[in-house]
A and B are shown apart, each in its own frame.
Chain A
Amino acid sequence: MKKVILSISAMLFVGVAAFAQGNTSSVNQVGNSDTGIVNQNGQTNDSKIDQLGNSNKSEVYQGIQPGVYNAKNNAADVKQKGNNNTAFASQSNHDNKAYQTQTGDWNKATIWQDQIAPPASALGGFDKATQTQTGKNNEAIIDQGTTGNEKPTGAPFNAAQLAAVNAVSVPFAPHNTNEATQTQNGDGNYAYATQGGVKNKSWQTQKAPAGTSVADGNKSYHYQYGNENSATTSQDGTKLKESTLQIGNNNTATVTQTGASHSSVAFSNGNLNTITVTQSGM
């Protein structure tokens, strides 16, 4: 669904376009083959793109006519240095913020914070998403939307857990005040966070030694549906994997892993559950 919307948006808007007053956009590009696309609908949107290096690309869409120009106060700040970085942000409706900073080679960061489709009650996001990546081959994706959120579809979650998440109604409304921060320093790391509900939080921090291949990189996934759930992951090492799925309200998961080849799967379905995992080698 999001890919369709992205394609339509890309066809409709090329370059920098702004409708309604108060939108601001600043794009600075130094280097070769840089691309910056900014589309802003609504009120008081703000976008800054600063790209230095080769083949960088960034696209920012803020308020693609959700509720017809009811998007306002969105902000997106993208800074990219290095080669082949890619950053994408799409924000719709109300006070969303996204910061993507990438330094290094082949990084990729994507932020979705949208309520593109009804219900109207969902049109009140106070989302924040911050992604900082330093190193090679890192990839971080945040999806805090009520439309098109990805759900886990297989391993490491079992059939009963997948059945539980499939019973969750997505788009999950209302949707606001979610926060997701992903920081990755090192090579080959991957982080993904998706949140539906109110006041969910997700922090993911990953490090890997220099020279770590993509295959040996760390991976962390956060899926949260409900209100005021919190997931925090900190990983330092290689081949560390973490997956958190929380359904309900006020659940908390904190996972810390160091060393090599550890994995953790944390699943809570209910309210006020707590999971704390600390793993390391000998």
Chain B
Amino acid sequence: MMKTFILYIILLIFYCPVFYAQEKADNSEFKNYSSSLFNSKDKAFSIVSNLNKKEKNELNSRIPSGVQIQQIGDFNKVYAALKSNDTKVAIDQYGDRNALLLDKNAKTITQSVIQQGDNNKITDFTLHTNYNVNMEMIQKGDNQSIQNIGTNSLSKNMKITQTGNGASIILINN
């Protein structure tokens, strides 16, 4: 009876989703995600990965302080609302009808966004977080889409790369 009770307790703890999520968060790592989509006409690759320490340092050294926006093409749009103690954001859009919405409130923000092609779209939205956010988003191709909502310990250092046409990623970070 006692052994069965202990076994139940162990199983309960082990499979508890909340505890499991917290344990993952403490590690600040998540397995890299990648997908590929093929058909006769289009192919697309989506890769979501962590920025390691070297990549974070490289990102911080590459981007100067402030907001740098460059748009070459027609009908491109950037909306950036940023609130932080230290902001380093570089945005490059090459092509036509690309759109970026960046609304972030974080301790520090270091972010690079590159959209190359036509009809690409990124929505990156964080109401408030006390993390130092390091993020890189690259979309090369047409009709790509990234939606990133929220920031947590897993996504504070994140790189998203999409190539090809028609790929889409939605990330919700609670």
Q: Which residues of A contact B (CB under 8 A)?
A: 156, 161, 241, 261-282
B80 neighbours in A (Cβ, 8 Å): 276-279
Complex CA gap A161/B94 in Å reads: 13
14 pairs, A vs B, C-beta closer than 8 Å:
A161-B70, A264-B66, A265-B68, A267-B70, A267-B71, A272-B74, A275-B69, A275-B78, A276-B79, A277-B80, A277-B81, A277-B82, A280-B82, A281-B83
Q: State the CA gap A246–B9 with chains docked (Å).
A: 65
Instruction: Determine whether the beta carbon of B107 is less than 8 Å from that of A265.
Output: no
For residue B75, CB closer than 8 A to chain A, the reply is: yes
**Chain A residues, CB < 8 A from B77:** 273-275
Q: How large is the interface on B (under 10, 10 to 19, 20 to 34, 35 or more residues)?
A: 20 to 34
**Contact between B74 and A270 (Cβ–Cβ < 8 Å)?**
yes
Say whether B151 faces chain A, with CB atoms less than 8 Å apart: no
Per-position contact with A for B56-93: 1 when CB-CB < 8 Å, else 0?
A: 00000000011111111111111111111101000000
Instruction: Select from chain B the residue with minimum beta-carbon distance to A264.
Output: B67
CB-CB under 8 A for A274 and B76, given A282-B84, A282-B85, A282-B107: yes
Nearest opposing residue in chain B for A253, CB measure? B69
Given B71, B75, B78, which contacts A269 in the complex, CB threshold below 8 Å?
B71
Q: Chain B at the A interface: mostly helix, strand, loop or mixed?
A: strand
In angstroms, Cα B107 to Cα A76, docked, is 48
Give chain A nearest CB distance to B130 CB in angstroms.
9
Extra contacts, 17 of them, besides A264-B69, A270-B72 (Cβ < 8 A), are A241-B66, A262-B87, A264-B66, A266-B69, A267-B70, A268-B71, A270-B71, A272-B75, A273-B77, A275-B78, A276-B80, A277-B69, A277-B80, A279-B82, A281-B83, A282-B85, A282-B107
**Complex interface: chain A residues within 8 A of B78 (CB):** 274-277
Say if the beta carbon of B105 comes within 8 Å of chain A: yes
- What CA separation (Å) do A274 and B82 show in the bound complex? 17
Shortest Cβ gap from A253 to chain B (Å): 9
Q: Distance (Å) between the CB of A80 and the closest chain B CB? A: 35
B81–A278 CB distance below 8 A: yes
Does B66 contact A262, Cβ atoms closer than 8 Å? yes
Contacts of B67 in A (CB 8 A): 262-265, 277, 279
Which residues of chain A come closer than 8 Å to B69, judged between CB atoms? Answer: 264-267, 275, 277
Closest beta carbon of chain A to B39's beta carbon, Å: 32
Write out the residue numbers on chain B whose beta carbons fall within 8 Å of the beta carbon of A277: 67, 69, 78, 80-82
* A269 contacts B85, C-beta separation under 8 Å: no
Interface centre among A267, A275, A280, A281 (most CB of B within 10 A): A275
Q: Which residue of A lies closest to B80 (CB)?
A: A277
Looking at the assembled complex, report how far the CB atom of B118 sits from the nearest CB atom of chain A, in whole angstroms: 12
Report the Cα distance A39→B152, complex, angstroms. Answer: 66
Chain B nearest Cβ from A271, distance in angstroms: 5
Task: Give bound CA distance, A103 to B130, whole Å.
Answer: 43
* Residues from chain B with Cβ under 8 Å of A275 in the complex: 69, 71, 77-78
Q: Are B72 and A263 in contact (CB under 8 A)?
A: no
- Residue of chain A at shortest CB distance from B128: A282
Q: Which residues of A contact B82 (CB under 8 A)?
A: 277-280
User: Within the complex, which residue of B66, B73, B85 is in contact with A265, where a contact is CB–CB below 8 Å?
Assistant: B66
Chain B residues 118 to 151 lying within 8 A of chain A, measured CB to CB, are none
Residues of A within 8 A of B84 (CB): 281-282
A17 to B: closest C-beta gap in Å: 47
Contacts of B107 in A (CB 8 A): 282
Q: Report the Cα distance A241→B68, complex, angstroms.
A: 12
Q: Which residues of B contact A279 (CB under 8 A)?
A: 67, 80-83, 87
How distant is the Cα of A175 from the Cα of B74 in the complex, in angstroms?
Answer: 23
Nearest-neighbor residue (CB-CB) of B98 within chain A: A273
User: In the complex, what distance in Å separates the CA atom of A282 from the CA atom of B105?
Assistant: 8
Binary interface encoding of chain B residues 13-47 relative to chain A, with 1 for a CB under 8 A from any of its CBs, else 0: 00000000000000000000000000000000000
